[in-house]
Amino acid sequence: MHPVVEIRQPNQPTLFISIRGPLEVGRECNGVLLADPQVSRRHLSIDVDAGRVIVSDLGSTNGSTLDGNRLVAPSVLGPGSEVKCGETTIRLDAPVAAVKPVDDAKGTVVSGADLDPTGTIVATPPTVTPNAPDPLLVAQRPIAGGDEAVYRTSIDMVAESAQSDGVDVRALPADQGTVTIVFSDIESSTERNVQLGDQVWMQVLGDHNRIVTDRVNQYGGTIIKNQGDGYMLSFSGARVALDCMMAVQRDLTAHASANPDRSVRIRIGMHTGEVLADQDGDLFGTHVVVAARVANLAQGGEILVSSLTKEIIASRGDITFDPPRNVHLKGIGDAVVYPMDWARHG
């Protein structure tokens, strides 16, 4: 059995992770992504050596502690000990039991999950290619009394981080008081990371991030937040947002054609709403949540828009959409979303 660590952060599901090799923890890293605003982008690493769990601070801004003492060198995380980074705690836990895999191509952090007899949600590893590093077993357990599995994607984490940090809307371009919010992430990024290996994956992630960044800059958008493969973007208008994301999809398709062994597909969702701000100018309002919920419903290679965004874009008559889908947006209610066949408008 591999050692398992328990990661608890404020107002988030508890993570239970089987440690099989080096694992980074932070807000923007190639490992476990946290929403804790006091945690650095690459905060600490967790490794295993002869069955012992070793924790190391990666030069974080706020530092880490082990049982109340500052973590200045790689140290053993023993039974009953606790590592603290920001408001997040890390402890040893019991090993994760194996369960049957469940097909879920959307999850970024959790590649599959099932309920064991105790109600614990245990993630199962994706298919591993020969010579690829062992995948990490990542688990999320429901809040006490809850029976609904919680899957957190890169889109969820970016949205939570942006709302936690606050976004100064005074710096965002807006069209008559409205802004179009876009969320995106790579479909099944955990599986692709495992299949490609860390070194190649970082190159793939770099190419993806460059394509998104270049196009957002070209179309005058704003990168509100980027964590790993997840993005939260804003645009002054719905049409320019769509034009930008169509260009991103075309670029990624061209990149996949030239590099078929390194291909990735991204999920994109967007919603347009009124710019609301608190007294400090921080962005808030349900339209941010709606945009994230819509993006989480998108398939790889798809652009999915809310009904309001569709009405704004379709008013010019030169863009067509596929048939609508009736969906339920968690925390919002029933809604209608529209997939856009961007390849047809190339």
> Which tokens belong to 47?
């490794």
- In the block, which residue shows the tokens 């790889």? 300
Task: Look up residue 200 and give its two tokens.
Answer: 């190649």
- Secondary element (H or E) of residue 239: helix 238-258
Question: Whole-model pTM above 0.85?
Answer: no
Q: Which CATH class is domain 154-162+174-340?
A: alpha beta
Taking the C-alpha atoms of residue 46 and residue 165, their distance in angstroms, rounded to an integer, is: 26
Cβ 3 vs Cβ 51: under 8 Å: yes
How do the pLDDT tens digits run along the chain, 346 residues long? 678 899 998 877 788 888 888 889 988 887 788 888 889 989 999 999 988 999 999 999 899 999 999 999 999 999 999 999 999 999 998 543 433 333 343 333 332 333 232 222 233 333 333 333 333 333 333 323 333 333 468 887 777 776 666 665 555 555 545 789 999 999 988 888 888 888 898 899 999 999 999 999 999 998 988 888 999 999 989 999 999 999 999 999 999 999 999 999 999 999 998 765 555 544 556 778 899 999 999 999 999 999 999 999 998 888 989 999 999 988 888 999 999 988 776 5
Delimit the CATH 2.60.200.20 region(s) of the chain.
4-93
- For the chain, residues classed under CATH 3.30.70.1230 are 154-162+174-340
> Tokens in use for 197?
């290996």
Q: Is the dihedral of CA 311, 316, 317, 318 positive or negative?
A: negative
In angstroms, the CA 293 to CA 151 distance is: 12
- Which CATH code fits 4-93? 2.60.200.20
